[in-house]
Structure 1
Amino acid sequence: EPQTYNQAIKHKHWQQAIQDELTAMEVNNTWTVQPLPLGKKPISCEWLFKLKLNSDGSVAKHKARLVARGFTQQYGLDFQETFSPVAKITILRVLLAVAASNHWHLAQLDVNNAFLNGTLAEEIYMQIPPGYSTSNTKTTTPLVCKLNRSIYGLKQASRSWFNKFSNTLISHGFTQSKYDYTLFTKGSKATFIAVLVYVDDIVLASPSSNMNNGAKTMLQRQFKLKDLGDLKFFLGLELLKSREGIYLCQRHYTLAILEDSGMLACKPSAVPMEANLKLHTESGTKLPNPGIYRRLIGRFLYLTISQPDICYAVHKLSQFVSNPHSDHMNAVNVLLRYLKNTAGQGILFKANFDTRLHAYVDANWGSCIDSRRSSTGFCIFLGNSLISWKAKRQKTVSHSSAEAEYRSLASVASELVWLKNLLTDFQVNTTHAAVYYDNKAAIHIASNPTFHERTKHLEIDLHFVREQVSRGMLKLFHVRKFHQLADVFTKALPRNVFLSILSKMGVDNIFLPS
Structure 2
Amino acid sequence: MVVRNKARLVARGFYQKKRINYEETFALVARLEAIRILLAFAASKGFKLQQMDVKSAFLNGFIEEEVYVRQPPGFESAKFPDRVYMLRKALYGLKQAPRAWYARLKSFLLKSGFVMGSVDKTLFLLSCGGDTLIVQIYVVDIIFGGLSHALVSSFAEQMSREFEMSHMGELQFFLGLQINQSPEGTFVHQVKYTKDILKKFDMGDSKPMKTPMSTNTTLDADEDGEAVDWKEFRGMIGSLLYLTMTRSDIQFAVCLCARYQASPRTSHRQAVKLNLRYLKFTPELGLWYSKGSSLSLRGFSVADHAGCRIDRKSTSGTCQLLETSLVSWSSRKQASISLSTTEAEYVAAASCCSQLLWMKATLSDFGLRFGRIPLLVDSIFAISVAKNPVLHSRTKHIDVRFHFLRDQYKKGDIDLVHVISWRCVDNALIKGEIESQWTGLIALLV
TM-score by length of 2: 0.92
State the Cα distance separating 1:84 from its structure 2 match: 0.7
Q: How far apart, CA to CA, are the structure 2 residues paired with 1:74 and 1:243? A: 53
Judged with a 3 Å threshold, the aligned counterparts in structure 2 of structure 1 residues 432 and 399 are, in CA distance, closer, same or farther, namely same
Alignment of 1:323-342 (within 5 A): 323-342=263-282
Q: How far apart, CA to CA, are the structure 1 residues paired with 2:2 and 2:433? A: 55
Q: Which moved more, 1:198-207 or 1:448-457?
A: 448-457
Alignment of 1:39-438 (within 5 A): 66-129=9-72, 133-134=74-75, 137-139=77-79, 141-142=81-82, 144-187=84-127, 190-274=130-214, 276-282=216-222, 285-438=225-378
For residues 439-486 of structure 1, give each alpha carbon's deviation from its aligned partner in whole angstroms, at most 9, with x where no partner exists.
0000111112223443112222212111111122111111111299xx
Q: How far apart, CA to CA, are the structure 1 residues paired with 2:215 and 2:357? A: 33
State the Cα distance separating 1:498 from its structure 2 match: 12
For residues 100-156 of structure 1, give each alpha carbon's deviation from its aligned partner in whole angstroms, at most 9, with x where no partner exists.
1111231100000000000122232334556xx426x31474465543321122110
The number of aligned residues is: 436
Aligned twin of 1:55 = none
Q: Which moved more, 1:452-461 or 1:393-402?
A: 452-461
Alignment of 1:457-476 (within 5 A): 457-476=397-416
For residues 151-195 of structure 1, give each alpha carbon's deviation from its aligned partner in whole angstroms, at most 9, with x where no partner exists.
122110100000000010001111111211111112168420111
* Unmatched runs of 5 consecutive residues or more in structure 2: 425-431
Judged with a 3 Å threshold, the aligned counterparts in structure 2 of structure 1 residues 190 and 251 are, in CA distance, closer, same or farther, namely farther
Q: Is the 8 A contact 2:421 2:434 kept in 1?
A: no
SS at match of 1:468: helix
State the Cα distance separating 1:422 from its structure 2 match: 0.5
* Unmatched runs of 5 consecutive residues or more in structure 1: 1-10, 22-65, 485-495, 508-514
Aligned twin of 1:51 = none
2:45 maps to a residue whose letter is N
Aligned-residue Cα RMSD (Å) equals 2.4
Q: Is the 8 A contact 1:126 1:145 kept in 2?
A: yes
Judged with a 3 Å threshold, the aligned counterparts in structure 2 of structure 1 residues 340 and 390 are, in CA distance, closer, same or farther, namely same
1:363 maps to a residue whose letter is A
Q: Is the 8 A contact 2:46 2:183 kept in 1?
A: no
SS at match of 2:49: strand
Q: Is the 8 A contact 2:132 2:146 kept in 1?
A: yes
Q: How far apart, CA to CA, are the structure 2 residues paired with 1:342 and 1:255? A: 10
Q: How far apart, CA to CA, are the structure 1 residues paired with 2:228 and 2:255? A: 23
Aligned twin of 2:429 = none
Query: In the alignment, does 2:2 pair up with 1:12?
Result: yes
Q: Is the 8 A contact 2:301 2:375 kept in 1?
A: yes
Q: Is the 8 A contact 1:386 1:506 kept in 2?
A: no
SS at match of 1:12: coil
State the Cα distance separating 1:503 from its structure 2 match: 4.8
Judged with a 3 Å threshold, the aligned counterparts in structure 2 of structure 1 residues 351 and 505 are, in CA distance, closer, same or farther, namely farther
Q: How far apart, CA to CA, are the structure 2 residues paired with 1:412 and 1:375? A: 13
Judged with a 3 Å threshold, the aligned counterparts in structure 2 of structure 1 residues 248 and 138 are, in CA distance, closer, same or farther, namely same
Q: Is the 8 A contact 2:30 2:136 kept in 1?
A: yes
TM-score by length of 1: 0.80
Judged with a 3 Å threshold, the aligned counterparts in structure 2 of structure 1 residues 92 and 126 are, in CA distance, closer, same or farther, namely same
Q: Is the 8 A contact 2:12 2:93 kept in 1?
A: yes
For residues 324-354 of structure 1, give each alpha carbon's deviation from its aligned partner in whole angstroms, at most 9, with x where no partner exists.
1111111111111111111121010111231
Q: Is the 8 A contact 2:117 2:123 kept in 1?
A: yes
1:329 maps to a residue whose letter is R
SS at match of 1:170: helix
Q: How far apart, CA to CA, are the structure 2 residues paired with 1:116 and 1:334? A: 46
Q: How far apart, CA to CA, are the structure 2 residues paired with 1:213 and 1:458? A: 54
Q: Is the 8 A contact 2:186 2:288 kept in 1?
A: yes
